[in-house]
Copies of this chain bind each other. A is one copy, B any other.
Amino acid sequence: MLLNQHYLFTPGPTPIPERVKLVMNQPMIGHRSQAFAHLLEEVSTRLMPIFGSKEPVLLLTGSGTSALETAAANIIEEGDHVVVIVTGAFGDRFASICEAFGANVHRLIVQWGKICTPDQLEDFLTKLDVKIKAVFATYCETSTGVLNPIQQLGEVTKRLTDSLFIVDGVSCIGAVPVDMESWHIDILVSGSQKALMLPPGLAFIAVSEVAKKVIHDCQTKRFYLDLNRYLSSYEKEKSTPFTPAVSLIAGALEVCYMIEEEGFNQVIERHQLLKKMIREGLKAIELPLLVSDAQGSPTVTAVKPASGTANMIKKILQDNYSITIAGGQKQLKGEIFRIGHMGYCTPFDILKVLNGLEMALHKLDGRNVFGKAIKAAEEVWSQHV
């Protein structure tokens, strides 16, 4: 019926554009060649506006977690005090990584499904009576679909401390605005398999001048993830210290071209439209949103349906309609499902997953909501275009 087609709506990995796949299948080039140096420089430079970075963006071969670890391992020394804002599973992972490197972690825990407000951070920092080396925050918390107010959190951090501000941008960079300097971000990391439309395997790290000094002086034992090696290789020869994922980097250049052709502002605007379409669609068929409109991310949306049905809906979508969505993690396991809508995602893709949900709800309990989510989503789209 569906001809072995599969429709991927997880919040990473995300679908890969045809032209990116084609580029990744070009003949391999050696990573110590002039051609690779040129490729790396192009990618690192063209990613700068996407990361809101004044410096070329560093590329590591590894998953998103390697990017988080890099941000911690190059900053934290045994016994350092750090604050980690935990709004979900990935904030929690950031905290675990900091602990693994010997930090005294002060967790600012927010109810899952809510953002951390600037006031909450201000209260938390004010009450601490130790020197904080860094504040770690998550831009989009993938496990709940909140988009934390990074600009304001950076401002509070800067005003109340002289610590570094380190941001996990894995599941949103490429789909949302960011400006490292004016938002006071010292390290911003991301991964390839989210809004950047690539397979998993590349980690991206942008660092401020201030962070560079701390990284340089950091005595923590590390080798593969030692940012000094990446900074030095890039500066000296536009290269990487270890064998990089050449094909993915070739694909990353094509992604940069795609974003430039669409226009980064238009990319951001498209994700706002996708967010609004899916939210209005879900509301129209009475599937409750975990996160409020104001706090929701333009890249992933979590739904909290009637108790016990989240995994059933997920399974019906998979088994009958070849639509893959994500379930909940940790404390939200079995309670929610999550729909990724970032990167290579168009309004028609939103309509497709809503079509699938309308069909799935009928299968679930005979509910007839055919066309209702679509009506709401198309109305949003028609107002936009």
Contact = CB atoms under 8 A, between A and B. Distances in A.
Interface of A: 1-5, 7, 17, 19, 258, 262, 266, 270, 273, 320-321, 344, 346-348, 351-352, 355-356, 358-359, 362-363, 368, 370-376, 378-379, 381-382, 385
A358 B378 contact: yes
Contacts of A372: 371, 375
Contact of A2 (B5, B7, B19, B348): B348
B352 A1 contact: no
Interface of chain A: mostly helix, strand, loop or mixed: helix
Nearest to A197: B3
A378 B351 CA distance: 13
A351 B355 contact: yes
A346 B5 contact: yes
A355 B370 contact: no
B344 A3 contact: yes
Nearest to A266: B1
Contact of A371 (B2, B344, B378): B378
A347 to B, nearest CB: 7
B348 A374 contact: no
Nearest to A382: B362
B344 A348 contact: no
Contacts of A1: 266, 270, 273, 346-347, 385
Contacts of A344: 3
A258 to B, nearest CB: 7
B2 A346 contact: yes
Nearest to A281: B371
B348 A355 contact: yes
18 contacts: A1-B273, A1-B346, A1-B347, A1-B385, A2-B348, A3-B344, A7-B348, A321-B348, A355-B378, A358-B374, A358-B378, A359-B378, A359-B381, A370-B374, A370-B375, A371-B375, A371-B376, A374-B375
